[in-house]
Structure 1
Amino acid sequence: MTDLPHCDTLALVRQGHALHITLNRPQARNAMSLAMVAELSAVFSRIEADDTLRAVVLRGADGHFCAGGDIKDMAGARSLPAGEGDQDPFYRLNRAFGHMIQQANESSKVVIAVLEGAVMGGGFGLACISDVAIGGPTVTFALPETSLGVIPAQIAPFVVERIGLTQTRRLALLGSKVKGNEALQLGLLHQLCGDGDELDTAIATALDRVRHCAPQATANTKRLLHRVGKEPMGALLDDAAAQFAAAVRGPEGAEGTMAFVQKRPPAWADIDTADNH
């Protein structure tokens, strides 16, 4: 079992097969500071090789997910000498977030985002890399960058992947806010909950479904999905068939088939979800 790093901007709680990560800067509506970016990156790096951990639940403290980037970091970068290319402090600040969000996007774990209150800027991008997005009644999405004279540089590509180019154009170029049912219709949310109890039930249900899915098959499926549209379809399907054959003959395929025949849960579903660390 992986030892988790010490974090100042995140609250980490291990519960059975899930790691609950709470963005914990409530005084700033959990705005994404450089320290938070570095800590999120460290956590995702540390847990990647932990096969006992199968899901990550991302949430914000005190009713807000994340209000975007930390303006104080922007001010700090402005006070530094300007550099050329990747030596520019603004480049480094922005690109650090991009590396982290790409890392989270490519994680082998099932990433469940619990979205409440402000989901803006970097928080919007983080929501768009989740595998399961569950919203509360106060959720409000926005890409306000253009109204601040900047661009959603590391965020926009993931929003396009999530909801398509035409809707991303509208949200990014107008800075419009999107709430509740509209977010659900756009595909920013998979589920919209009416209150806290319903939200807790939705999280528990998602984590239970993760428990019933084979961990290696889940990780391989996620990697396969990320390749769609980036490789020639014929070659992709050839490789997918090879992976399927290996999975059928592998230990998870054998156990899954036997469990189905014997009308019992597979071995990977037999874990203690109440285990807290």
Structure 2
Amino acid sequence: MTLPTTETLNLDLDGPVLHITLNRPDSRNAMSLNMVNELMAVFESVRENTSIRAIVLRGAGGHFCAGGDIKDMAGARQKAAAGDSDAYISLNRRFGEMITAANQQPQVIITVLEGAVLGGGFGLACISDIALAHCDATFGLPETGLGVIPAQIAPFVVERIGLTQARRLALTGIRFKGEEALRLGIVHEVANDSAALDAALGNTLEAVRRCAPGANRVTKALILKVGHEPMDRLLDQAAVDFAAAVNGAEGQEGTMAFVQKRPASWNQ
């Protein structure tokens, strides 16, 4: 398959896994509008590709992402001064469109979090299916300390860790390390060094490979609908999807592999 050409991202397709590296190390991978648009393009290009089962997001140069790019704010200010009253709205909302697309991406999204995990980077951590962090990674929502708001990020933080903790983090701007992120439920695993972090990623990808790709897609879609649709309707559709899975190729292969005590065909 052909992936989009990118300037701010390094893309590496390794079998069923697409590795996306945010690649603006001089700015601690601050998220420019160009990076947002490139992420959108990559997500869209692989969305329906069932051969890609996992997407790994990480940052170059020892940092995940330090938040939004201040240069884009300056550019929006110039547009606003020139009469574009929607300049700030368009800039901010575009990030929201990207993080929504990432949240709804059918592949398993894995974030590998090192260094700065701030603002927009914090938001990406909160929409990932599996988040792995270095113990010394620094997390936080610094927006209110800068006189702005985490407009597109806050709703996803609430969904990740609940209203009470989201209030505390957003309204104080405090920064904290990996162990506290684990306690809050932002991340799922914390590693003490880079080797352990890479090992955790390897173990996670191995676990993903053991799961049927079609079943994972349907399961993720089901989970994301919880709280957004009436429970009875959700469970009715889940029963239909379950029957389709049992009678489908994956269900038959999974049952046969279990009986024959062998790995399923998708475990590769």
Q: TM-score, normalised by structure 1?
A: 0.95
Correspondence 1:83-102 to 2 at 5 A: 83-84=84-85, 88-102=86-100
User: Which residue pairs with 2:73 in the alignment?
Assistant: 74
Q: Which amino acid aligns with 2:118?
A: M
Query: Residue 9 of structure 1 aligns with which residue?
Result: 8
Q: 1:179 aligns to what?
A: 177
Q: Secondary structure at the match of 1:267?
A: coil
Moved over 2 A (4+): 81-84
Q: Which residue of 1 aligns with 2:30?
A: 31
The one-letter amino acid of 1:23's match is: L
Equivalent residue for 2:153, pick from 149, 155, 159: 155
- The match for 2:220 is 222
Q: Could you say which residue in structure 1 is the equivalent of 2:61?
A: 62
Higher relative CO (Cα under 8 Å, sequence separation at least 6) belongs to 1
1:1-277 equivalence runs, <5 A: 2-80=1-79, 81-84=82-85, 88-269=86-267, 271=268
Shift in Å, 1:238 = 1.0
- The code of the aligned residue for 1:192 comes to V
- Computed over aligned residues only, the root mean square deviation of the Cα atoms, in angstroms, reads 0.8
Task: Please state how far the C-alpha of 1:124 moved relative to its aligned partner.
Answer: 0.5
Q: Does the CA-based 8 Å contact 2:134-2:192 persist in structure 1?
A: yes
Displacement of 1:180: 1.9
Whether contact under 8 Å (2:139, 2:178) holds in the other structure is no
CA distance in 2, matches of 1:123, 1:82: 31
Q: Which amino acid aligns with 1:255?
A: E
User: Using a 3 Å threshold, how does the CA distance of structure 1 residues 240 and 122 change in structure 2: closer, same or farther?
Assistant: same
Unpaired runs of 5+ residues, structure 1, are: 272-277
- Which SS does the other structure have where 1:63 is aligned? coil
Distance (whole Å) between structure 2 residues aligned to residue 233 and residue 172 of structure 1: 30
Between the aligned partners of 1:161 and 1:181, the Cα distance in structure 2 is 20
- Partners of 2:178 and 2:33 lie apart in 1 by 29
For this pair of structures, how many residues does the alignment match?
266
Residue 83 of structure 1: how far off its partner (Å)? 3.6
| 3-state SS of paired residue (1:79) | helix
Deviation at 1:181, TM superposition (A): 1.2
TM-score by length of 2: 0.98
Secondary structure of residue in 2 paired with 1:230: coil
Residues 59-88 of structure 1, C-alpha deviations (whole Å, 9 max, x = no match): 01111100000000000000013445xxx0
Q: In structure 2, the residue corresponding to 1:258 is in which secondary structure?
A: helix
Q: CA deviation at 1:178?
A: 1.7
Q: By how many angstroms is 1:50 displaced?
A: 1.3
Q: Please give the alpha-carbon distance, in whole angstroms, between the structure 1 residues aligned to 2:106 and 2:228.
A: 19
Name the aligned partner's letter for residue 99 of structure 1: E
**SS of the residue aligned with 1:268?**
coil
Query: Matched residues, percent identical?
Result: 62
Partners of 1:119 and 1:195 lie apart in 2 by 17
